Protein backbone atom coordinates (compact mmCIF):
# COMPACT_ATOMS: atom_id res chain seq x y z
CA UNK A 1 0.00 0.00 0.00
CA UNK A 2 1.43 3.36 -0.94
CA UNK A 3 0.51 6.66 0.59
CA UNK A 4 1.02 8.81 3.62
CA UNK A 5 1.23 5.84 5.99
CA UNK A 6 2.23 2.96 3.70
CA UNK A 7 2.92 0.41 6.46
CA UNK A 8 0.32 1.54 8.91
CA UNK A 9 -2.23 -0.88 10.26
CA UNK A 10 -4.44 2.15 10.77
CA UNK A 11 -5.20 2.43 7.07
CA UNK A 12 -6.21 -1.24 6.89
CA UNK A 13 -8.36 -0.85 10.03
CA UNK A 14 -10.13 2.24 8.65
CA UNK A 15 -10.94 0.40 5.44
CA UNK A 16 -12.03 -2.83 7.15
CA UNK A 17 -14.26 -1.04 9.66
CA UNK A 18 -15.54 1.38 7.01
CA UNK A 19 -15.24 4.37 9.32
CA UNK A 20 -13.44 6.71 6.95
CA UNK A 21 -11.40 7.10 3.82
CA UNK A 22 -7.69 6.63 3.37
CA UNK A 23 -5.85 9.33 1.45
CA UNK A 24 -3.20 7.95 -0.89
CA UNK A 25 -1.32 11.24 -1.23
CA UNK A 26 -1.64 14.94 -0.49
CA UNK A 27 -2.98 15.66 -3.98
CA UNK A 28 -5.96 13.42 -3.23
CA UNK A 29 -7.04 15.24 -0.03
CA UNK A 30 -9.53 17.64 -1.65
CA UNK A 31 -11.24 14.91 -3.64
CA UNK A 32 -11.29 12.56 -0.68
CA UNK A 33 -12.85 15.21 1.58
CA UNK A 34 -15.48 15.91 -1.07
CA UNK A 35 -16.24 12.18 -1.24
CA UNK A 36 -16.39 11.93 2.55
CA UNK A 37 -18.89 14.78 2.73
CA UNK A 38 -21.29 13.14 0.28
CA UNK A 39 -24.47 12.56 2.27
CA UNK A 40 -24.63 8.77 1.89
CA UNK A 41 -20.90 8.22 2.43
CA UNK A 42 -20.80 10.39 5.55
CA UNK A 43 -23.91 8.71 6.94
CA UNK A 44 -22.40 5.24 6.43
CA UNK A 45 -19.12 6.13 8.15
CA UNK A 46 -20.91 7.89 10.98
CA UNK A 47 -23.18 4.91 11.58
CA UNK A 48 -20.22 2.50 11.57
CA UNK A 49 -18.25 4.71 13.96
CA UNK A 50 -21.18 4.92 16.37
CA UNK A 51 -21.34 1.14 16.54
CA UNK A 52 -17.80 1.01 17.88
CA UNK A 53 -17.17 1.02 21.57
CA UNK A 54 -14.36 3.53 21.83
CA UNK A 55 -13.23 3.85 25.41
CA UNK A 56 -10.03 5.76 24.61
CA UNK A 57 -11.36 9.03 25.98
CA UNK A 58 -11.97 7.43 29.34
CA UNK A 59 -8.57 5.74 29.37
CA UNK A 60 -6.58 8.97 28.85
CA UNK A 61 -6.50 10.09 32.52
CA UNK A 62 -5.03 6.74 33.61
CA UNK A 63 -2.46 6.80 30.82
CA UNK A 64 -1.40 10.36 31.65
CA UNK A 65 -1.22 9.50 35.35
CA UNK A 66 1.04 6.53 34.61
CA UNK A 67 3.28 8.69 32.38
CA UNK A 68 3.54 11.31 35.12
CA UNK A 69 4.44 8.66 37.74
CA UNK A 70 7.07 7.15 35.46
CA UNK A 71 8.53 10.54 34.60
CA UNK A 72 8.86 11.39 38.30
CA UNK A 73 10.68 8.11 38.91
CA UNK A 74 13.03 8.83 36.03
CA UNK A 75 13.57 12.45 37.08
CA UNK A 76 15.48 11.29 40.18
CA UNK A 77 18.06 9.65 37.93
CA UNK A 78 18.53 12.77 35.74
CA UNK A 79 21.45 14.99 36.79
CA UNK A 80 20.40 18.33 38.27
CA UNK A 81 20.08 21.04 35.64
CA UNK A 82 19.18 18.58 32.87
CA UNK A 83 15.67 17.76 34.02
CA UNK A 84 14.22 21.10 32.97
CA UNK A 85 13.69 22.13 36.60
CA UNK A 86 15.24 25.37 37.79
* pLDDT value for 62: 87
Domain ranges of the chain: 9-75
Q: Where are the alpha helices (H) located in the chain, listed in sequence order?
A: 9-17, 29-36, 39-51, 56-75
Q: What is the pTM (predicted TM-score) of this model?
A: 0.53
Mean pLDDT by runs of 10 across the 86 residues of the chain is 59 90 91 95 94 81 86 64 52
In this predicted model, what pLDDT tens digit does every residue of 48-59 receive, in sequence order?
999 988 777 788
- Residues 3 and 27 sit within 8 Å (Cβ to Cβ): no
Amino acid sequence: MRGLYPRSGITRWVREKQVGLVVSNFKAVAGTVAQLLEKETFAKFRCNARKMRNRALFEIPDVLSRILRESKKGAAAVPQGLSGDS
